[in-house]
Structure 1
Amino acid sequence: MLAAMPPTSPTPVNRDEAPPRAAVRKSVRERGDACPGALRLHAADDGWLARLHLPAGLLTPRQAETLADAAERLGDGHLDLTSRGNVQLRGLGGSCGAELAERLYEAGLLPSEAHERVRNIVASPLAGLDELPSAEVQLWARELDGLLCASARAAALSGRFLFALDDGRGDVAALGADVTLLARRDGSVVVRTGANRSGLRVTPEDAPRAALLAAETFLTLAEASGSGAWRVRELPAEHGRGLEAAVRAGLTDAGIAMEYVAEASEPGAGPGSEPGSEAESGPGSEASKPDPEGEPPLPGPVLSPDGTVALSVHARLGRLSVAQWRLLATAANGPLRVTPWRGVIVPGVAPATAGAVLDRLRTAGLITGPGSPWHGVGACTGRPGCAKALADVRSDAAAAVSRGSGGLPVYWSGCARRCGHPEGRWVDVVATGEGRYDISVQGDARPITTTITTGPELELKPELELELADAVAAARTTPLTR
């Protein structure tokens, strides 16, 4: 539980000192995780930053108002949505740490001081709100969060470690989580670690406990490797290969029944077969069916099974004003769901008023339909908020929006760190200094990079602005290369 008194001041951290991902995989980390949270703030160029972790992105109306009030009174009047369905407050004053912690604690947003940075749980945001059959991932998220906060061992997880709870549609399963729970058509759940396509099938009732056990097993292997790994993909190869077997042993010791599920594309492997066995499965079996590859929720209305309408709304470049945030909160009849794609699901809207509500949200500057030129466009903070940034990427992204829409997601980064970039295939626009941007398509086997020079002192001249915008628009429609 929280200490009786919240911290009297924020503790500075600098996550910008982290080495690039490629370097991490080849070396041993020599320092602790510096990810910010709600109690340990990050010193940015535009003030202090607080990151609030929201399991499954859930926020009650009261909690949503608490965040709006904190952003308005203590910060810069905006809320940033992250690629993990969390919320950040920026521009905080240097002496507001205790007051912010007090507000969050009273709203039930800080159930454990020791675990507040490790509650990274994303879940399929439309589960139960559309016509697709879905598992109870929201219930799993609540149970897993409780188990995390009750585990002294789990407090050692990095703030970058991620759980994904997928209701079977394949949306959050594609986010590169460290532990994934994937619901199956037969009602079971498969527990996966890292990039493994194989997994361990358990019952829905055991799934949250199995996810926690997998995370704790990772910690054991990370410590044994001496690598200081924060994520499953950072484990040395010999330890990474042994993770699934170690999880299996842990589940057995915990009395959790499970079956091995082979990779879907592996021929002749059934859901109960062991690695290397000769069990066979027919073409209609669960194992032979490809994994679901669901898309993120498109902006717009979604008809819910109870006859109400859920509104899927995205924020331009992931940033909301307090006024926009309150519009969303007041329209909802139930908890808001912040998505890993920098959007918000507003549930329970009456069908007769849904159109008018969407019109108000669109007028307020939010993305309410897939035809918006802002749809699929993201950016890091950039200048002037981040000291590492080499350009004001938000302004440059906004200037380029009108030149085209649709196609691949595009993400603008102020430096090579690419903080907050999407997973999968996406257009990578990276400021490289001296007025230059490199543009490439990530996720291709043979990405081709184009360099655009925008002018001295990072100021876009009109003709160069068009050149940059056209290059980004062309990259978004680049055919897949293999």
Structure 2
Amino acid sequence: MTDRHRPDRCPGVLRPWIADDGALVRLRLVGGALTTQQLADLMLISGRFGDGEVHLTRRANLQLRGIDHTEGEPPRLFVEAVAATGLLPSRSHELVRNIMVSSLTGRLGGHVDLRPLAEQLDAGLCADEELAGLSARFLFVLDDGHGDLVDRPLDLGVMAVDATHGQLRVGEHWGEVLPLTAVPDALLDLARRFSHLREREGNGAWHVAELPEAGGSMLSVHHARDLRTQVHALPVPHDTLTQDDGRAVRHVDIPEGRLTHDLATRVLALAGRDIIVTPWRSLLLPDLENP
């Protein structure tokens, strides 16, 4: 069991990390999803207030850096500009909206489209005042059965085993198999249980694995891992692939995760309405017409 004597320092828009080149802020994207308009707006915001680039993270989020600040506070106009993009839906919960989802869910492979489930989880998370106290490092991971996130370290999550059921995950432990419709509430209940156990233990845990039994104490019954979760996805090639619906998705490499002005201009010219940031610091441009 780990004792934490201070809060985590993961940045957000309202709580930036102060680096040598200025303030760094992180924008949390549920499942890495954003629109081309939002990305275009962020490039303009970065050009006005920051270093002119948008940076991709390994949790499928975005960062802006080089932002002027006053004693650690970013400019009010900067915060208002970010909020206007729709990418800051909850100021009280911005740091805890850490929800990774299989990048191609609902478009290619996998058992089921987990995007609606992720949105329900995000809404429930933001509506719960207690859960605003989670660590900004606390991570939910939702794998649609594709296996692209099965090896990702997590706090809470689910892996789909068929089109209607998934097996819960609690740290390194596996929970029950239950209907996917019940998963958002189940994950939120587990997050509350984590908060209560952390308070009882008094160790300031950031992660489930820092509780007794590496989080096993959160489970009333331990379950064996379902054999249907024993899948691993190969890396997605940087190429144009055919979605399950016959349309195309283009996987674009972003060197060093740095989206420069010129590269963003090329990406936006290729993209449709939606863009997906992947955990591999690349971009997926889905729902394109096949050539």
**Structure 1 residue 111 and structure 2 residue 111: aligned?**
no
1:170, 1:194 → 2: CA distance? 17
Kept after mapping to 1: 8 A contact 2:111/2:161: no
1:90, 1:38 → 2: CA distance? 11
**Structure 1 residue 234 and structure 2 residue 210: aligned?**
yes
Q: Which has the larger radius of gyration?
A: 1
Kept after mapping to 2: 8 A contact 1:29/1:229: yes
Q: Which residue of 1 aligns with 2:80?
A: 102
Percent of counterpart pairs with the same letter? 36
Instruction: Note the residue ranges of structure 2 that are not aligned, 5 or more in a row.
Output: none
Kept after mapping to 2: 8 A contact 1:227/1:236: no
**Structure 1 residue 318 and structure 2 residue 257: aligned?**
yes
1:155, 1:189 → 2: CA distance? 26
Kept after mapping to 2: 8 A contact 1:190/1:261: no
2:75, 2:156 → 1: CA distance? 32
Measured against aligned partners, the alpha-carbon deviations of 1:341-366 in whole angstroms (never above 9, x if no partner) come to 111110122222xxxxxxxxxxxxxx
1:326, 1:144 → 2: CA distance? 33
Q: Which residue of 2 aligns with 1:192?
A: 169
Q: 1:136 to 1:289 in 2, by over 3 A?
A: closer
Partner amino acid for 2:97? R
**Structure 1 residue 90 and structure 2 residue 65: aligned?**
yes
Q: Which residue of 2 aligns with 1:159?
A: 136
**Structure 1 residue 71 and structure 2 residue 46: aligned?**
yes
Q: Which residue of 2 aligns with 1:125?
A: 103
1:295, 1:173 → 2: CA distance? 12
| Structure with larger RCO (C-alpha < 8 A, sep 6+) | 2
Q: What TM-score comes out, normalization by structure 2 length?
A: 0.93
1:351, 1:288 → 2: CA distance? 36
Q: Which residue of 2 aligns with 1:307?
A: 246
Partner amino acid for 1:155? A
Partner amino acid for 1:77? G
Partner amino acid for 1:210? A
Kept after mapping to 1: 8 A contact 2:160/2:229: no
**Residue range with higher mean Cα deviation, 50-59 or 211-220:** 211-220
Q: 1:288 to 1:124 in 2, by over 3 A?
A: closer
Partner amino acid for 1:71? S
Q: What TM-score comes out, normalization by structure 1 length?
A: 0.57
Q: CA deviation at 1:296?
A: 3.8
Q: Root-mean-square deviation (CA), in Å?
A: 1.8
1:288, 1:166 → 2: CA distance? 15
Partner amino acid for 2:282? G
1:330, 1:227 → 2: CA distance? 50
Pairing partner for 2:30 from 31, 55, 60? 55
Q: 1:351 to 1:243 in 2, by over 3 A?
A: same
2:261, 2:155 → 1: CA distance? 33
2:269, 2:146 → 1: CA distance? 29
Q: CA deviation at 1:199?
A: 1.4
2:227, 2:260 → 1: CA distance? 47
Partner amino acid for 2:112? A
Aligned with 2:40: secondary structure? helix
Aligned pairs for 1:343-358 within 5 A: 343-352=282-291
